[in-house]
Amino acid sequence: VTAFLARNHARERHSVVPPCSSNLEWVNVERPLSLHADLQGKVLVVDFFTFCCINCMHILPDLHALEEKFSEKDGLLVVGVHSAKFPHEKLTASVRAAVLRHAIGHPVACDGEASLWQDLSVSCWPTLLVLGPRANPLLAIVGEGRAATLHSFVSAALRYYREKGELNAKSVGVKPYKDSLPPSLLLFPGKVCATRGLDADGEERLVVADTAHHTVLVTDSSGRVLHCVGDPEPGCVDGEFSEARFSSPQGVCVRGQHIFVADTNNHLVRLVDMAEKRVSTLVGTGSQGTDKEGGLPALKQPISSPWDLVLGSIADGEPDSVLFIAMAGTHQIWAYFLSDGKLPRSSQEHKAGTCVRLAGSGNEENRNNSYPHKASFAQPSGLSFAPEAGGGCLYVADSESSTVRAVSLRDGAVKALVGGERDPMNLFAFGDVDAKGVDAKLQHPLGVAWHPTHRLLYVADSYNHKIKAVDPSTRACVTLVGSGRSPDGGPSAAPLGRDTLAEPGGLCVGDGGKVLYVADTNNHRVCVVDLDTSAVSTV
């Protein structure tokens, strides 16, 4: 690395990054920054990302570890450049909310029109560009999983340029957005589940993944908190409720007095025992996995960013005998067997406690196929189980393809329901159109909920800030609630309008089928939708 840096140093005056636009808006700084006026004299790690992207989320811990090791005083500065995929992501308020949600503390430029992306010929999310102290390009890293390369290269670059006397300790005026916000009871709640039987009174309870507070809450139907599991400080700890730690939990579902939790950033599935008041680990090792098959004993099976969970059965199996997992990190659907069973189209018997791939090749595509392992998903983020559909059906909110898909649990076939387009490689077929099948358009849906009485599937069309209803028999998709506009994404005491949703991330049917409970993520609340009147109120 040192020899490479020396060769680069000899020609760096003729190879520098062009100045970035002065029109960019910035987050986490006191004032807009200039690459050449403010950022010279630093080794820069520039992270080109878009906040919807799971691969971009996966490298945030790598960047955080780098910032923990080296500071501005050491001559290192990490700068994010948010280059949007979706229209919603072009808004500075949306980026600001994502910066808060993902605990990003370094400066972020909002490159909504991808001008810097194009100027530097970036072609993939995420891309890391390492620059020397004269804005000279040193290294480009495309994709995730390159933490060791990044850390060793940056360490060598800091040492080399420090010896050259070219680094400075000047601060650029980092001012984290989170420091300007009021406290909030909920912070970016991702998912919600309604259930009965958790407590002795048999009344309905809501289980809420309070994602950015890293806790799981159990409330009554009025929103009164009865139990808080975990702590606002993220971590990975089993134990009593006050000792346990999660990291950005998402999906939650319930069987008896057990709550299953998708502990997303820990790459685990956790189990909350309400009778014993303890948390244990069910699936995963605590490290991000790359395995796309599964089959190891659950506690030895690495998994990747589980985003949602739902209980169900395969074909005519016992009710709630399988825990289905939306494995966003590998673009697949997995199954954890709670009792012995088989996958569709398979003669192999899986013992209870086994976690295996159900559907999805692992390629990030919108590919439907009669054979589940040949189908492909693109960051599946929401699941719902419909036992009424001939042997059972699993509905999937496939966020990066902007579709809702259906997986038959009798034969494993994966089919399109609404959204996207017929080209399986096109992950940019999004919009906001009420129509049928492929003519309907969604924008990064994150949640689905099956209503067994209405025979409708309700969809959290997250980046359109709407709840939509889909009739699987006709594939018709219509808006139920939501104006399509969101507020600015920060906790606020201001009243919310009737249809003011903001990136709703999850939903469930409750109160005997009369209402929907919605995790209204960027409004930092759980709201309830009356299915008779479509009235929306905060729980």
Q: Where are the domains of the chain?
A: 1-179, 184-287
With vertex at residue 305, the alpha carbon angle to CA 304 and CA 309, rounded to the nearest 5 degrees, is 110
Predicted confidence at residue 187, as pLDDT, reads 96
Q: What percent of the chain is modeled with pLDDT above 90?
A: 85
Predicted confidence at residue 6, as pLDDT, reads 86
Residue 17 predicted with pLDDT over 90: no
67 residue type, one letter: E
For domain 1-179, give the CATH number. Answer: 3.40.30.10
Q: Over the Cα atoms of the chain, what is R_g?
A: 23
Give residue 498's pLDDT band: very low, low, confident or very high (50, 70, 90): low
* Pairing of the two strands 108-110 and 76-82: parallel
CA distance 473 to 437: 11
Give residue 524's pLDDT band: very low, low, confident or very high (50, 70, 90): very high
Q: What percent of the chain is modeled with pLDDT above 70?
A: 96
The model's pTM is 0.96
Block residue for tokens 């995730």: 144
CA distance 31 to 112: 18
CA distance 124 to 143: 7
Higher-confidence position of 345 and 507:
507
List, in sequence order, the alpha helices (H) in 358-410: none
CA distance 57 to 44: 19
pLDDT digits (tens, 9 = 90+) for 195-237: 998 988 889 999 999 999 999 999 999 999 999 999 999 999 9
Residue 58 predicted with pLDDT over 90: yes
Of 180, 130, 178, the C-alpha closest to 158 is 130
pLDDT digits (tens, 9 = 90+) for 286-338: 999 999 999 999 999 999 999 999 999 998 789 999 999 999 999 999 999 99
Identify the weakest region by mean pLDDT among 306-310, 482-486, 525-529.
482-486
CA distance 225 to 274: 14
Residue 285 in contact with residue 300, Cβ under 8 Å? Answer: yes
Predicted confidence at residue 14, as pLDDT, reads 55
Residue 110 predicted with pLDDT over 90: yes
Surface-to-core class of residue 146, CB atoms within 10 Å of its CB (0-12 exposed, 13-18 middle, 19+ buried): middle
CA distance 184 to 198: 26
Predicted confidence at residue 200, as pLDDT, reads 82
Helix, strand or coil for residue 454?
A: coil
153 residue type, one letter: F
Predicted confidence at residue 15, as pLDDT, reads 64
CA distance 421 to 493: 40
List, in sequence order, the alpha helices (H) in 266-334: none
Q: For the chain, give the mean pLDDT.
A: 94
Residue 491 predicted with pLDDT over 60: no
Residue 514 predicted with pLDDT over 90: yes
CA distance 273 to 492: 34
Mean pLDDT of 81-106: 96
For domain 184-287, give the CATH number. Answer: 2.40.10
Predicted confidence at residue 493, as pLDDT, reads 46
